[in-house]
Structure 1
Amino acid sequence: MDLNFSSPKKFNGISLEDSGDLVVFKDIENTPKTKMNDRYTKTVENSPLKDAYIKPKKLEIDIKHNIENYNTQPTHRKYMSRIPLSPANECISLKKTLFKKIEPPSMLTQRASSVSPSRTIGRRTFLTEEKNPIFPLNSEQFLKEFANGISEAEKREIIGYGTVYYFNAKYSKSKYNPIAREDFDVIIGDHVKYRYEILEYLGSGTFGRVLKCFDHKLDEPVAIKIMKKNPKHQKQGESEAKFLEILQRADPEDSKNIIRMKERFMFRGYFCIVTELFSINLYQFLRKNSFQGVSMTLLKRIAIQLLIALKHIHSQGLIHCDIKPENVLLKQEGKSSIKIIDFGNACEKNLVFHTYVQSRIYRSPEVVLGRKYNCKIDIWSLGCMLVELYQGTPLFPCENEQDLLRRIVIAIGLPSVSFLRSCSRKNIYFTPDYKLIRVKENKRSYCPSPRTLLQILEGADSDFSSFIERCLTWDPQDRITAEEALSHQWINPNKEQITPLRKTRSRFFSETHKF
């Protein structure tokens, strides 16, 4: 179903802007000169340009030009892709005077595909003056064609892969360092695994980097998550790939709103995960709409899809551990369909847990207080995220965990004594008589003042408020499950309402706490 919101840019679109020559005319004191990449300077003697202008009489032609790209340009735009407004004919006729013919190496080719930037080579068509290879090529054909343009390490790689679907000789030899740094070196137009063309840098995190690429084997855009080159992050990537495989096997029809993994592999020491490529995430969506929040209709659509995904994740014995707007993608810009991504912090219910999970403003109380947690931490994060989508700003915009707990107490009241007794880190944040330790408030803080949940949800649909209250409870045992949430009155008004909260918790919303 189409949604009505502005979309000035296509985030899934691919820029086709040409990167040709830029010719600039300006006054100088001496003879006209042409500068090519600040390395070649030639004086134009007796050129038509000297007589073409009356004012100014003397010109400088400053051509910002990449020599390698110049030699690989198709003939119809080899010399000037942007012609000066005046005098055009003289500039065109002057091209042989301005440029000395430099023969390109045979491996330098020009992409003719409309899928990616024109400065890179493509899968099917190559424009060169001497050779016209067609991909894919097997290793023998490729090495015969490009033997003089690649390093020995690349030759060994190509023999191992067997088939080359994409290659850009411009980034060969000097760019390939077998002993690379921890983060993958992103070069637009370069390849990954001699198959994927790097189109765009999408983002990074503690895990590594995410790239937008084009798969020249299957002719489709993809996203590639490249982990940092170290044992810790490689293990994290392998764990994420394993969880994605588990979830995909249990969802053959792709109906559970979870990102699909296409391939996983090691490339030059980096663990890579290839996934579907979708549109913007929910945080970017909020930002595009000036953090105004979304309608209740759209909010409910998103909530239903998230609950279906969480129910599937939890049914497979997994916990996502990082539910937040940045990890929820719109499948298409202008549509309400979503998918959950990033299982890098996910874990199994019955194994040893990470001590530091969830982004801070979506972190559940049991994680902060050192209590053994389960899949209910995803429900807490879901509640925080839905309120953020509703009002446009985070529910608990905290500076640290102490500030987070203070805001939670103001929003939903103090936790029960029985809950605090089961928390190993309670003494850090609470006094011996189970009152929150007061800390001096940072006057320079940019975080807004905390409010109660009733104040935050004032004017909201009563069923939505009830749903959020069931998501945001101190004790995970009181918190709603994903399966129960799908039967809640707000999500499904036609179903019988689930068991309400215990009456003992009503005191949390009747007290006013000041810290």
Structure 2
Amino acid sequence: MAAVHALPVMYSYHRQSLNGVNTGNAAGPSVLPTPPVASRKRKRAQQYTVSYSEVQETDSDGRVRDVIVIEDTPPPTMSPATTHGGGYSAPYQPPVFTVPIRTRARAAAEAQALSASTSASGIAPPPKKRKREPADDIRTLPSKKAAPSSQNSLAITQTKSWGSRSAAATDETSKGPVSCDDKEGHYIIVPDDIIYKRYRTVRLLGQGTFGKVVEAIDTFTNTRVAIKIIRAIPKYRDASRIEVRVLRELKKKDPLNTNKCIHLLDTFDHRNHVCLVSELLGMCVYDFLKDNEFAPFPRHHIQRFALQLLNSVAFLHRESLIHTDLKPENILLVHNDYHIVNVPVPGKKNAAPKSKRILDSTEIRLIDFGSATFEKEYHSQVVSTRHYRAPEIILGLGWSFPCDVYSLGCILVEFYTGMALFQTHDNLEHLAMMEMVMGKMSERFARAGARSKPEFFKDGSKLDWPKPKASRQSKKDVRATRPIDHVIPPTDQINRHFLNLVQKLLAFDPTQRITVADALKHPYFSLNIPAEI
């Protein structure tokens, strides 16, 4: 019989213990707080040594083969304080067991099964589960017949831990830590993941081109926060650093947040992802509109929204900052609470009334400064989301503070009707719709546009619409676009003042467009608008 060698095998699993946290939800009572649940553990295998000896056995064919006989010791006890999957209690010691005879391959298979079972302990399968990467599994032992050399101990697993995710790998197969990204560079969200040794993820709140936003619990303060996790792509990382710089500057200038721009609480780099931590708020205004079947907001709510938005943008402009991407998706409600009222269906006398959600609070926050630009710094050629893009941007005439003003005008009209004012994806069609809404652009502005974009004009300064190649549907959509005084009929004093404000915000020529500072002085804001539905 061959000499016996001791082979210490260190299966090391990382265990994170977090108690469920039941905190108030900043999004308001209408959003159910996440109940305290047992944390799903990412464990390392229990540490124990495996002793083996080399023996010979006769197989079923009568041939003599060398095999490895392995004997191991039981795993240490586990405490319910750190285990939620049926572990041993502290006073209870499981009986000592010995395994009769196992080959090396069988031992490796059992170790792999142990890894799979421990990683599955904890809460029920989450709504979105990350696929198991091959590197997450315990590597099988190399299948060599001969025992190790005279150096009779060898550490065969080595752990590289990133936050709460652990990657076990052998010296032979390790290519670095387990990837936490998908193929597009987005961070893969796993419930109860620990980010930066502090924030425990709860759920995905949203995803965009820039990355993802998750709800998390700050384990230092037991408060819920939102974390914007930027994609691990260089151009998005670079843009996020600009956003961090802007947010820090805004917080420095407005520490009490009287101007209602999102406040940055923390920022760090986690596994090549820039992370921005902010207060947890409610849903965006667009999502509320969508969930409300695009029913318009009551007029007294529109006035409150308009006042807050103009104040926020005026603050940015005073700091020489242009947001460049104002839209309902970038306006968050602080609270989602609402009550339901029944409203009659217009034009249908005998139709059953429809239910409509009415917000209990109109407090909002302006978010997403990833495209914000200081006036004296580089301006990219095209900014703003299509439906809220100012004409000077489309015509390539350069842009500045007035482009934010134009976006605000589009937003206020959308609040009034429930639908986006301009629904198009073509530049010339967009300009034609603008002329339908606001009337023909001024001669001065049209000539400047014709010099920059001659393909959009004819006869010097006349918009060249429709082009021969324009589709029938495109022509129909432009003809269906209504003038602004039809969209907002001046039926009473409230509408007349609101219409006048919107017309000044949507002026074609940016030099003639009202400033946000002057807009705040408009008589519309001195009106006492009664509550309505």
TM over 0.5: yes
CA contact (8 A) 2:159 2:168 kept: no
The residue identity in structure 2 corresponding to 1:73 is G
**Residues 39 and 84 of structure 2 are in contact (CA less than 8 Å); yes or no, is this contact kept in structure 1?**
no
Higher helix share: 1
Shift of 1:194: 2.3
How far residue 265 of structure 1 moved from its aligned partner, in angstroms, is 1.3
CA contact under 8 A between 1:412 and 1:452: conserved in structure 2? Answer: yes
**What is aligned with 2:372?**
346
Structure 2 gaps of 5+ residues are: 1-26, 41-82, 89-112, 130-154, 170-175, 338-360, 529-533
2:490/2:499 contact within 8 Å kept? no
Instruction: Give, as a single letter, the amino acid of the residue that structure 2 aligns with 1:241.
Output: V
**Residue identity in the other structure for 1:427:** P
Partner residue, 2:160: 153
Which amino acid is the alignment partner of residue 314 of structure 1?
H
In structure 2, the partner of 1:268 is 271
Deviation at 1:442, TM superposition (A): 3.5
Match of 1:321 in 2: 324
2:21 is aligned with 1:14: no
Where does residue 85 of structure 2 map in the other structure? 73
The 1:329–1:242 alpha-carbon spacing in structure 2 relative to 1, beyond 3 Å, is same
Q: In the TM superposition, what is the alpha-carbon distance from 1:152 to its structure 2 partner?
A: 3.5
How many percent identity over aligned positions?
28
Where does the alignment leave 5 or more consecutive residues of structure 1 unmatched? 1-6, 21-70, 77-101, 121-147, 159-166, 495-515
Partner AA of 1:407 in structure 2: M
TM-score, scaled relative to structure 2: 0.63
Deviation at 1:19, TM superposition (A): 12
CA distance 1:289–1:199, shift in 2 (3 Å): same
**Is 2:468 the counterpart of 1:442?**
no
Kept in 2, the 8 Å contact 1:258–1:339? The answer is yes
Change (3 A) 1:385 1:151: farther
Residue 180 of structure 1 deviates from its aligned partner by: 7.0
In the alignment, the residues of structure 2 paired with residue 365 and residue 324 of structure 1 have an alpha-carbon distance, to the nearest angstrom, of 16
Deviation of 1:229 (Å): 1.5
Distance 1:213 1:425, change over 3 A: farther
Task: Provide the residue aligned with 1:475 in structure 2.
Answer: 509
Kept after mapping to 2: 8 A contact 1:282/1:325: yes
Matches of 1:275 and 1:178, distance apart in 2: 22
Aligned counterparts, 1:249-398, within 5 A: 249-334=252-337, 335-398=361-424
User: 1:117 Cα deviation (Å)?
Assistant: 7.7
Any idea what SS the aligned residue of 1:232 has? helix
Q: Residues of 1 paired with 2:257 and 2:462: CA distance?
A: 48
Give the alignment partner of residue 427 of structure 1, picking from 454, 458, 471: 454
**CA distance 1:264–1:312, shift in 2 (3 Å):** same
Closer, same or farther in 2 for the Cα pair 1:15/1:378, shift >3 Å? farther
Letter in 2 for 1:152: T
Structure 1 counterpart of 2:160, one-letter code: A
Q: Return the match for 2:426 from 397, 400, 403.
A: 400
Judging changes above 3 Å, is the alpha-carbon distance between structure 1 residues 202 and 447 closer, same or farther for their aligned structure 2 residues? farther
Tell me if the contact between 1:11 and 1:280 (Cα under 8 Å) persists in the aligned partners: no
User: What is the number of residues matched between the two proteins?
Assistant: 372
Q: 2:496 aligns with which of 437, 458, 462?
A: 462
* Alignment correspondent of 1:452: 483
Contact kept in structure 2, 1:279 and 1:332, CA below 8 Å = yes
Indicate the SS of the match to 2:267.
strand
| Change beyond 3 A, Cα 1:282–1:12 | farther
Deviates more, 1:245-254 or 1:318-327: 245-254
Residues 404-448 of structure 1, C-alpha deviations (whole Å, 9 max, x = no match): 111001111121222233345331311242111123443456968
Distance 1:118 1:281 in 2: 22
- 1:153 offset after TM fit, Å? 3.1
Aligned to 1:210: 213
- For the residue of structure 1 that corresponds to 2:332, the secondary structure is strand
Match of 2:51 in 1: none
Alpha-carbon separation, structure 2, partners of 1:457 and 1:472: 13
| Paired residue type of 1:360 | R
For residues 142-183 of structure 1, the C-alpha deviation after alignment (integer angstroms, 9 at most, x for no partner) is xxxxxx9x96332xx56xxxxxxxx477x9889832787422
Deviations along 1:12-43, whole A, 9 cap, x unmatched? 632668999xxxxxxxxxxxxxxxxxxxxxxx
Distance 1:444 1:200, change over 3 A: farther
Q: Is 1:237 paired with 2:240?
A: yes
Establish whether residue 220 from structure 1 lines up as the match of residue 223 from structure 2: yes
1:82-109: CA deviation from partner (whole Å, max 9, x where unpaired): xxxxxxxxxxxxxxxxxxxx98899869
2:422 match: secondary structure: coil
Instruction: For residue 387 of structure 1, report the CA deviation from its aligned partner.
Output: 0.3
Q: Which has the higher strand share?
A: 2
Give the aligned residue type for 1:489: P
Counterpart contact for 1:18–1:117, Cα < 8 Å: no
How many angstroms apart in 1 are the aligned matches of 2:312 and 2:32?
23
Question: Residue type of the partner of 2:370?
Answer: G
TM-score calculated relative to the size of structure 1: 0.65
Q: Distance in 1 between matches of 2:333 and 2:458?
A: 44
1:286 Cα deviation after fit:
0.7
Q: Is the 8 A contact 2:180 2:187 kept in 1?
A: no
What whole-Å deviation, never above 9, does each CA across 1:370-394 have from its counterpart, x for those lacking one?
A: 1121111111000100100100101
Distance 1:245 1:297 in 2: 33
- The answer on whether the counterparts of 1:360 and 1:400 sit within 8 Å (CA) in structure 2 is no
CA-CA distance at 1:492 after TM superposition: 2.6
Q: Distance in 2 between matches of 1:177 and 1:119?
A: 17
